[in-house]
């Protein structure tokens, strides 16, 4: 199907050639259909791929013959429609008029404008008999291809090849267009059915006031969920958050319940504590699994009694606080081992929300990539990097052990360092290598969890050569130094992620944090 194009200027595309009326589509009907697509996205693949054409009327029959749907538009209409999800390419004709420098400049500016408007839609320039200067200028402006052969079948094949190489780009294009709130919930962006079921449950339980336990890997957005619960709860007090693994064991009670003046060395004045600070609101206990065992009874008592006693005080202070706890460890398993109080676990685990990892919701990988790419490009005021199908396939093959946070960090790195550049699968591998990332064909296992190769069957593993040992030091000092080197290597491998490092070391996160403090190591130094 084609649209008539009676008004296209000959300034830089050459003289307009009218379209056969038998092929034309009623303008009002076409505009109505395209307007409807603004509010209701049509599934990619529901019809032939749409190609917008500017000044290429004689190529329409050849485009239709290769299974495409050409739509003749003016340059202004092209910029208005190119971002729509069914548009797969833009074909621009540059004729003899393009030999003039002023006309060439306008052509290049038009190509750049089209790329800015829809970075995921390829632009092809048809310049029969064009010069090397036209080819160079068009490619530098962002054109995917420049066809110099005047034969319409050749240009149609070039457009077809470009579109056939885009198996994933239309999917990202559709998500990039979908800027409505249908994919957002209180700061969380998702098109995953599992996530939207989670959001629905969240809205149902938020007004109840019951304690909530959020389980999910690091980087999945647990605090955003906690904030959404607070927002929908109707509670008028504050939302107060604390990372339980970041507070020294001897200061946890003071942080949570406050202290009286002189209660301990350094307590020069009294302090309310976070429970009282969150009175009438919500207290978010992040990484509650890292809460020292010695502090867990005080928290349990506060939850049971609805009162807190400041350190060094004697009076009980009533508080009205809803507690939301989150952890990246299987807290029920930890409780069974005795490293976390079971009675406290059951107090927290009234309502459980489990956040699926990013690798379990592939539809969100592309959607979130497009969302962050658009958001960060606008934030930094730079041209977004251009994408290829191979790059998107690499995104889907990677297992994202750092989840959404890792994906956002990657996009920010790309936006700042690859402005306007075309990204390929090879570039993804190169960009991720310094951070320990590897594609694993979505095995379900985070790529950060590397395994040592096993020795061949029926053959003993070779013994390591004996190392030089410094016997001038005592055994304890030697063991401590070896432990520090081990922890540094593990932190470096996992980029400072506590849970992953603890799993590698086969210790609990709490034990790992204690060892890091003992050795003066900070996880932030390894990110």
The pLDDT value given to residue 480: 73
The pLDDT value given to residue 289: 92
Answer yes or no: is pLDDT of 354 > 90.
yes
Q: What is the pTM of this model?
A: 0.54
- More confident position, 248 or 467: 248
Quote the mean pLDDT of the chain: 78
Q: Would 21-166 and 193-354 be classified into the same CATH topology? A: yes
Burial call 214-232: b when 16+ CB within 10 Å, e when fewer: bbbbbbbbbbbbbbbbbeb
Answer yes or no: is pLDDT of 207 > 70.
yes
> pLDDT confidence of 21, banded at 50, 70, 90?
very low
Answer yes or no: is pLDDT of 195 > 80.
yes
The set of residues, in sequence order, having a beta carbon less than 8 Å from that of 452 and lying 6+ positions away, is: none
Answer yes or no: is pLDDT of 261 > 80.
no
Helices and strands in the chain, H and E counts: 21, 16
How many residues are there in the chain? 527
The pLDDT value given to residue 96: 57
Fold type of domain 21-166:
Rossmann fold (3.40.50)
- Six token digits for residue 286: 């992040």
| CA distances from residue 173 to 107, 388, 463 in whole angstroms, order as listed | 24, 12, 54
Give CA–CA dist 381/363, Å, rounded: 27
Answer yes or no: is pLDDT of 7 > 80.
no
> pLDDT confidence of 18, banded at 50, 70, 90?
very low
Angle, CA of 57, 58 and 62, to the nearest 5°: 110
The pLDDT value given to residue 161: 84
Beta bridge partners of 352: 213
Residue 260 · residue 270 · CB < 8 Å: yes
Residue linked to tokens 């003066």: 520
Answer yes or no: is pLDDT of 270 > 70.
yes
Which range is most confident: 43-47, 87-91, 132-136, 312-316? 87-91
The pLDDT value given to residue 171: 52
The set of residues, in sequence order, having a beta carbon less than 8 Å from that of 94 and lying 6+ positions away, is: 12, 13, 14, 104, 107, 125, 126, 127, 130, 134, 138
- Domain boundaries 361-435, corresponding CATH code: 1.10.8.60
Question: Is 442 strand, coil or helix?
Answer: coil
The pLDDT value given to residue 41: 33
Residue 58 CB neighbours (<10 A): 15
Which range is most confident: 84-98, 127-141, 194-208? 194-208
CATH level 2 (architecture), domain 193-354: 3-Layer(aba) Sandwich (3.40)
Give CA–CA dist 129/109, Å, rounded: 21
Average the pLDDT over 387-397 and give the result: 85
Angle between the N-to-C axes of helices 475-493 and 498-505, in degrees from 0 to 180, rounded to the nearest 10? 130
Give CA–CA dist 198/175, Å, rounded: 21
The set of residues, in sequence order, having a beta carbon less than 8 Å from that of 429 and lying 6+ positions away, is: 394, 439
Domain boundaries, the chain: 21-166, 193-354, 361-435, 475-526
């Amino acid at each position: 199907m084609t649209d008539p194009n009676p008004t296209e200027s000959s300034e830089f595309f050459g003289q307009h050639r009218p379209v056969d009326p038998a092929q034309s589509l009623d303008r009002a009907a076409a505009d109505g259909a395209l307007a409807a697509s603004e509010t209701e996205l049509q599934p990619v693949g529901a019809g032939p791929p749409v190609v917008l054409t500017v000044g290429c009327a004689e190529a329409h029959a050849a485009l239709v013959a290769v299974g495409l749907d050409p739509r003749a538009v003016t340059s202004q209409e092209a910029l208005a429609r190119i971002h729509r999800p069914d548009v797969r390419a833009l074909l621009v004709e540059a004729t003899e008029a393009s030999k003039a420098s002023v006309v060439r400049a306008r052509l290049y500016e038009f190509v750049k404008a089209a790329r800015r408007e829809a970075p995921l839609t390829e632009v092809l320039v048809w310049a029969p008999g064009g010069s090397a200067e036209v080819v160079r200028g068009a490619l530098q402006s962002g054109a995917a291809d420049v066809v110099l052969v005047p034969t319409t079948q050749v240009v149609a094949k070039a457009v077809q090849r470009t579109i056939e190489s885009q198996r994933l780009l239309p999917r990202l294009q559709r998500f990039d267009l979908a800027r409505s709130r249908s994919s957002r919930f209180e700061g969380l962006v998702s098109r995953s059915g599992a996530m939207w079921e989670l959001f629905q449950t969240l809205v149902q339980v938020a007004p109840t006031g019951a304690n909530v336990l959020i389980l999910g890997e690091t980087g999945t957005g647990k605090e955003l969920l906690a904030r959404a619960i607070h927002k929908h709860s109707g509670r008028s007090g504050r939302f107060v958050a604390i990372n339980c693994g970041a507070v020294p064991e001897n200061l946890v009670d003071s942080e949570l319940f406050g202290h009286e003046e002189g209660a301990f060395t350094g307590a020069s004045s009294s302090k309310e504590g976070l429970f009282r600070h969150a009175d009438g609101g919500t207290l978010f206990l992040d990484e509650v699994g890292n809460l020292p065992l010695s502090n867990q009874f005080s928290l349990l008592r506060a939850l049971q009694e609805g009162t807190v006693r400041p350190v060094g005080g004697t009076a009980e202070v009533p508080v009205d606080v809803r507690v939301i706890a989150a952890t990246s460890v299987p807290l029920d398993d930890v409780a069974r081992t005795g490293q976390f109080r079971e009675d406290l676990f059951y107090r927290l685990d009234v309502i459980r929300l489990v956040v699926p990892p990013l690798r379990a919701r592939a539809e969100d990988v592309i959607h979130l990539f497009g969302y962050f790419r658009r958001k960060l490009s606008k934030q930094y005021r730079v041209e977004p990097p251009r994408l290829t199908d191979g790059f998107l396939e690499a995104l889907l093959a990677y297992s994202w052990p750092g989840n959404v946070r890792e994906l956002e960090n990657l996009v920010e790195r790309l936006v700042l360092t690859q402005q306007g550049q075309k990204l390929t699968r090879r570039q993804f591998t190169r960009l991720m290598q310094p951070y320990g990332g590897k594609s694993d064909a979505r095995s379900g296992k985070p790529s950060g969890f590397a395994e040592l190769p096993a020795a061949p069957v029926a053959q003993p593993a070779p013994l390591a050569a004996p190392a030089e040992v410094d016997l001038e030091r005592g055994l304890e000092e030697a063991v401590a130094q070896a432990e520090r080197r081990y922890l540094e290597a593990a932190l470096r491998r996992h980029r400072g992620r506590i849970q992953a490092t603890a799993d590698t070391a086969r210790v609990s996160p709490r034990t790992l944090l204690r060892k890091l403090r003992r050795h003066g190591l900070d996880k932030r130094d390894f990110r």
